[in-house]
């Protein structure tokens, strides 16, 4: 089966889908992954086909407005404010992503499409081609439930409020991208969609929905439909990665260090963040590894007790650490959980405060510290707590052991192949390729 995977975002939004693609290839399928052009070598080095998408949307995060958004967005109301403020700026980039997705499908001629919510066109392309589509996400924020509110919403305990929070998110996405989707459908000869809905096809049937989250971390709600599955995390393997000599030597030269890295979450003051981190490590007497990532931290001169690296595979690095300080991205949080290490989460925006809260509920981290209010005193206090409290270490190892026992990729592939089998049973013979994409 030829499978097209469409995803978009930071590396954390791409890496789990690379892992899924490799697992599908191992099952005998042929996989092409469409995402931002900056990740081409990463995708191709994993042995997958690559379909390029514009970097324009990601480039917006490097602007002053994008950095302001990362500095100030906490909670749903601020997210809505930034959605409205940046709608005109983001619009052309969204339209470009849709066009790039169509071009990828035309080049690949897939039998099935797996798409992340940020690649809005996935189900519409599948509809035009007469093939099945599977929605896949790293944060369970699309399928409504009365059991808990959506990411970024306060937990009132009211079932109606929880369900409303999911409708609100879908409505916000419709405001942001709906016009471009409607224009795309009209241009491609598809009937008007009754309403913007990533969860359903035009006939109103709910799509298979993969949530790449461990059920040990976040159990599937009891009121979810059968089509929605909490698969477990999608982890990649190490391959033939060899650590640099200085990194291996530093780790072996003393007690396990503390990892600190915020990925691509730069904000407006990465140098200030780095100084805060260095001060906190020195206050606690901890050795540290600072990962500069994509500009999230910009340290200057460092003492011998701190090593600066650009990055390293989390599956190799994290098990060798004493604790993990990070921004709370879904992928980094998953890697820290699997390593069985205590965490300190410093969220910037989006789903990051949510994962910080969940980790605190599991007892593997203190309450998250928003990066805009981070101080050396707060960070050193949190580090002391997670590295001296035996209960935190025990909770982290227990949760890590549960996650390591799961096979999220196998569960995801089971759902994907079942969706393809059902489509073969009910789908009519598709049009010729040239007609389908006219």
Under 8 Å between Cβ of 36 and 55 = yes
pLDDT in tens, 99-134: 999 999 999 999 999 999 989 899 999 999 999 999
pLDDT over 60 (residue 72): no
pLDDT at 74: 53
Separation of alpha carbons 192 and 205, rounded Å: 16
Angle (CA) 127-129-130 rounded to 5° is 65
Categorize the per-residue pLDDT at 63 as very low, low, confident or very high, splitting at 50, 70 and 90.
low
pLDDT over 90 (residue 362): yes
Identify whether 427 is part of a domain.
yes
pLDDT over 70 (residue 380): yes
Under 8 Å between Cβ of 367 and 360 = yes
Identify whether 349 is part of a domain.
yes
Identify whether 345 is part of a domain.
yes
Instruction: Report how far apart, in Å, the C-alpha atoms of 361 and of each of 183, 216, 364, 395, 438 are.
Output: 44, 12, 8, 10, 51
Q: Looking at the structure, tell me whether residues 81 and 166 fall in a common domain.
A: yes
pLDDT at 174: 82
The chain-wide mean pLDDT, for the chain, equals 88
Other beta carbons within 10 angstroms of residue 241's beta carbon come to 10
Identify whether 239 is part of a domain.
no
Categorize the per-residue pLDDT at 437 as very low, low, confident or very high, splitting at 50, 70 and 90.
very low
Q: Looking at the structure, tell me whether residues 34 and 110 fall in a common domain.
A: yes
Arithmetic mean of pLDDT, 166-185? 85
pLDDT over 60 (residue 151): yes
What is the 3 state secondary structure string of the chain?
CEEEEECCCCHHHHHHHHHHHHHHHHCCCEEEEEEEHHHHHHHHHCCCEEEEECCHHHHHCCCHHHHHHHHHCCCHHHHHHHHHHCHHHHHHHHHHHHHHHHHHHHHHCCCEEEECCCCCCHHHHHHHHCCCEEEEECCCCCCCCCCCCCCCCCCCCCHHHHHHHHHHHHHHHHHHHHHHHHHHHHHCCCCCCCCCCCCECCCCCECCEEECCCCCCCCCCCCCCCCEEECCCCCCCCCCCCCCHHHHHHHHCCCCCEEEECCCCCCCCHHHHHHHHHHHHHHHCCCEEEECCCCCCCCCCCCCCEEEECCCCHHHHHHHCCEEEECCCHHHHHHHHHHCCCEEECCCCCCHHHHHHHHHHCCCCCCCCCHHHCCHHHHHHHHHHHHHCHHHHHHHHHHHHHHHCCCHHHHHHHHHHHHHHHHHHHCCCCCCHHHHCC
Residue 207: exposed, middle, or buried by beta-carbon count in 10 A (0-12, 13-18, 19+)? Answer: buried
pLDDT at 62: 64
Q: Which span out of 45-49, 63-67, 168-172, 350-354 was modeled with the highest average pLDDT? A: 45-49
Residue 52: exposed, middle, or buried by beta-carbon count in 10 A (0-12, 13-18, 19+)? Answer: middle
Domain coverage including residue 413: 2-233+406-436
Token readout for 223 is 């009121």
Identify whether 123 is part of a domain.
yes
Identify whether 314 is part of a domain.
yes
pLDDT at 64: 58
Identify whether 306 is part of a domain.
yes
Q: Looking at the structure, tell me whether residues 386 and 368 fall in a common domain.
A: yes
pLDDT over 90 (residue 360): yes
Arithmetic mean of pLDDT, 25-44? 96
**Going by C-beta distance under 8 Å and a sequence separation of 6 or more, which residues neighbour residue 285?**
none
pLDDT over 70 (residue 230): yes
Q: Looking at the structure, tell me whether residues 197 and 325 fall in a common domain.
A: no
Q: Looking at the structure, tell me whether residues 132 and 187 fall in a common domain.
A: yes
Sign of CA dihedral 389, 395, 398, 402: negative
Arithmetic mean of pLDDT, 73-88? 51
Q: Looking at the structure, tell me whether residues 118 and 73 fall in a common domain.
A: yes
Categorize the per-residue pLDDT at 368 as very low, low, confident or very high, splitting at 50, 70 and 90.
very high
Q: Looking at the structure, tell me whether residues 186 and 313 fall in a common domain.
A: no
Record the pTM: 0.89
The more confidently predicted of residues 69 and 235 is 235
Q: Looking at the structure, tell me whether residues 293 and 386 fall in a common domain.
A: yes
pLDDT over 70 (residue 438): no
Separation of alpha carbons 111 and 360, rounded Å: 42
Scan for tokens 């889908």, then name that residue.
Answer: 17
Q: What CATH number should be reported for the domain holding residue 333?
A: 3.40.50.2000
Arithmetic mean of pLDDT, 71-90? 53
User: 21-25, 104-108, 283-287, 371-375 — which is least confidently predicted?
Assistant: 371-375
Token readout for 178 is 């709906």
Separation of alpha carbons 194 and 299, rounded Å: 52
pLDDT at 19: 97
Q: Looking at the structure, tell me whether residues 135 and 35 fall in a common domain.
A: yes
pLDDT over 50 (residue 18): yes
Identify whether 147 is part of a domain.
yes
The more confidently predicted of residues 351 and 68 is 351
pLDDT at 196: 82
Q: Looking at the structure, tell me whether residues 258 and 216 fall in a common domain.
A: no
Structural domain tally of the chain?
2
pLDDT at 204: 85
């Amino acid at each position: 089966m030829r499978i097209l995977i469409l995803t978009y975002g930071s590396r954390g939004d791409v890496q789990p889908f690379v892992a899924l693609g490799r697992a599908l290839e191992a099952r005998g399928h042929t996989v092409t992954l469409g995402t931002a052009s900056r990740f081409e070598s990463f995708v191709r080095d994993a042995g997958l086909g690559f379909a390029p998408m514009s970097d324009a949307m990601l480039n917006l995060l490097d602007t002053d407005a994008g950095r302001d958004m990362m500095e100030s967005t906490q909670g749903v109301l601020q997210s809505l404010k930034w959605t409205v403020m940046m709608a005109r700026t983001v619009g052309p980039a969204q339209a470009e992503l849709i066009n790039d997705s169509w071009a990828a499908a035309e080049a690949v001629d897939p039998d099935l499409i797996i798409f992340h919510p940020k690649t809005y066109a996935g189900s519409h392309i599948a509809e035009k081609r007469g093939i099945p589509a599977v929605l896949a996400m790293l944060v369970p924020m699309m399928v409504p439930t009365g059991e808990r509110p959506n990411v970024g919403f306060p937990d009132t305990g009211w079932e109606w409020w929880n369900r409303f929070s999911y409708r609100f998110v879908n409505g916000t996405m419709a405001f942001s991208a709906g016009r471009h989707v409607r224009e795309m459908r009209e241009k491609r000869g598809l009937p008007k969609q009754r309403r913007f809905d990533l969860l359903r096809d035009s006939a109103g049937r709910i799509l298979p929905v993969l949530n790449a989250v461990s059920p040990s971390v976040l159990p599937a709600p009891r009121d979810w439909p059968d089509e929605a599955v909490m698969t477990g995390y999608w982890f990649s393997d190490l391959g033939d990665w060899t650590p640099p000599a200085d990194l291996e030597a530093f780790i072996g030269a003393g007690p396990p260090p503390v990892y600190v890295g915020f990925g691509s979450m730069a904000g407006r003051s990465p140098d200030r963040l780095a100084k805060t981190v260095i001060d906190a490590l020195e206050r606690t007497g901890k050795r540290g590894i600072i990962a500069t990532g994509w500009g999230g931290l910009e340290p200057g001169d460092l003492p011998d007790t701190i090593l600066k690296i650009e990055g390293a595979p989390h599956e190799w690095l994290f098990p060798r650490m004493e604790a993990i300080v990070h921004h709370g991205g879904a992928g980094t949080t998953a890697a820290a959980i699997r390593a069985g290490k205590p965490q300190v989460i410093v969220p910037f925006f989006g789903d990051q405060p949510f994962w910080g809260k969940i980790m605190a509920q599991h007892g593997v981290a203190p309450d998250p510290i928003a990066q805009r209010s981070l101080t050396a005193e707060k960070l050193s206090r949190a580090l002391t707590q997670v590295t001296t409290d035996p209960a935190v270490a025990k909770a982290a190892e227990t949760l890590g052991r549960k996650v390591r026992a799961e096979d999220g990729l196998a569960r995801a592939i089971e759902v994907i192949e079942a969706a393809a089998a059902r489509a073969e049973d009910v789908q009519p013979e598709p049009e010729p390729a040239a007609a389908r994409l006219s």
